[in-house]
Structure 1
């Protein structure tokens, strides 16, 4: 499965770069590839958790899985073991700091963070200078996720460098966050200055933080790809 996933990803990334499909704006350079950079997945997902874990388990660069709920550790550990990823640690709470330090010091390059649930852990890691300058943040940005920890979500916006914010209010498959972190051309992003209102809704604001915000999702293409990957 890992070989098939890598082949699909290379083909899609090449197509995206040729036509400038994802994560770009008119006249801007195509974002540099982060292929091979360590991938951290921060969970808090619902009914599609099994599919998301199955998807990321096939990703060779998956390095760490974190969660804000310590009760999820055993469940996530079982899912990863089931998919043959006994090498990937699962951490929560105080263990995240030490685990993040190990990941960041293991590479001289970028580290990818895919946040699937509330922004609690993301705000924590971008608050550490040694981590913040190396992290490429992709975060689920539906109001339901963001308002679970609104303070953390606002901290994330102010501290992260040009995060990718994937709105899932209408398309609620968290695998789209993973696909965006892998720079696959299913989600189109554009740069915008944004802030959060009191309900956790992401709104454009002239004085807000600069982020890359999803504006279009090719759900049909994504689900077809996901079906092939998961077999």
Structure 2
């Protein structure tokens, strides 16, 4: 499984990373919307705290999102050698690393939790990979809001890549904003796991999650658990059901239903209580 996530922005990305590290044996992490290697450094640090030094971290496409990295003032990243910093630089190296993985593995599950820049770059370089990568992507909306469907954050950050990937991939699965931004998945300062994560005896990865959550909740009063929900769907767990829709992809990456659109699998229903129980169990200290 390739976890393609913008670690260090919305806390759900780091939560999904922690869960994946604990339940996925054959895991690779690629950072989406990279910012000079900072997301890759944070991912490496978190994985080390989770005793997953075996998990490879690949720095992904840098979109210049300097303001979309949260923890600079709240979390001091550990020192990394110049050898590590050199390894995580370079779009060509990122593409080569993922292409190598795809060439040596018959079938890859790709969970997209950030902009679709990385999967687009890989498919553009080696189009045949699109036949062997099963992509579950966080993003997309089909219900109208004030007369127009909104563009989800992941698509809005890089709409060209979203448009290319959704056209090139074979029946991508979308976990829609209508389901990820539900009140049932909302995290507020009263989130019940926060006090547990903040205990002095909590493991380092849990304390890191608490720091990230608190930093975000100072910035905004709430966040949502869309990232781990999309991860659960990639794992084949039964919480999210999908249906096939024919979708038109607009130039700004907005989506709409149309009889002549491209077939895609889109989330249909979510069993929120079962999902939340699974998530708590996966994060249990």
Indicate the TM-score class for this superposition, using the shorter chain for normalisation. 0.7 to 0.9
Does 1:190 pair with 2:154?
A: no
Output the aligned Cα RMSD: 1.7
Matched length:
192
Deviation at 1:105, TM superposition (A): 2.3
Residue 48 of structure 1: SS of its match in structure 2?
A: helix
The ranges of structure 1 where at least 4 consecutive aligned residues each deviate by more than 6 angstroms after the TM superposition are none
Aligned twin of 2:40: 73
Spell out, residue by residue over 1:10-37, the C-alpha distance to the aligned partner (whole angstroms, 9 max, x if none). Answer: xxxxxxxxxxxxxxxxxxxxxxxxxxxx
Aligned twin of 1:53: 17
| Equivalent of residue 230 in structure 2, options 158, 172, 177 | 177
Q: Structure 1: where are the runs of 5+ without partners?
A: 1-38
| Equivalent of residue 2 in structure 2, options 40, 61, 66 | 40
Alpha carbons 1:63, 1:103 under 8 Å: kept? no
Cα distance in 2 for partners of 1:49, 1:163 equals 20
1:73-92 equivalences in 2 (<5 Å): 73-92=40-59
Deviation at 1:123, TM superposition (A): 1.6
> Against the structure 1 CA distance between its residues 105 and 151, is the aligned structure 2 distance closer, same or farther, given a 3 Å change threshold?
same
Cα distance in 2 for partners of 1:67, 1:138 equals 15
Cα distance in 2 for partners of 1:133, 1:56 equals 24
Cα distance in 2 for partners of 1:206, 1:52 equals 35
Cα distance in 2 for partners of 1:110, 1:117 equals 21
> Against the structure 1 CA distance between its residues 99 and 167, is the aligned structure 2 distance closer, same or farther, given a 3 Å change threshold?
same
> Against the structure 1 CA distance between its residues 198 and 154, is the aligned structure 2 distance closer, same or farther, given a 3 Å change threshold?
closer
Alpha carbons 2:102, 2:129 under 8 Å: kept? yes
Alpha carbons 2:160, 2:251 under 8 Å: kept? no
Aligned twin of 1:120: 117
Cα distance in 2 for partners of 1:50, 1:151 equals 26
Alpha carbons 1:166, 1:214 under 8 Å: kept? yes
Aligned twin of 1:148: 157
Aligned twin of 1:106: 104
Deviation at 1:185, TM superposition (A): 0.6
Deviation at 1:90, TM superposition (A): 1.3
Alpha carbons 1:66, 1:96 under 8 Å: kept? no
Residue 229 of structure 2: SS of its match in structure 1?
A: helix
Cα distance in 1 for partners of 2:177, 2:20 equals 19
Cα distance in 2 for partners of 1:44, 1:218 equals 25
Alpha carbons 1:43, 1:117 under 8 Å: kept? yes
Structure (1 or 2) with the larger CA radius of gyration: 2
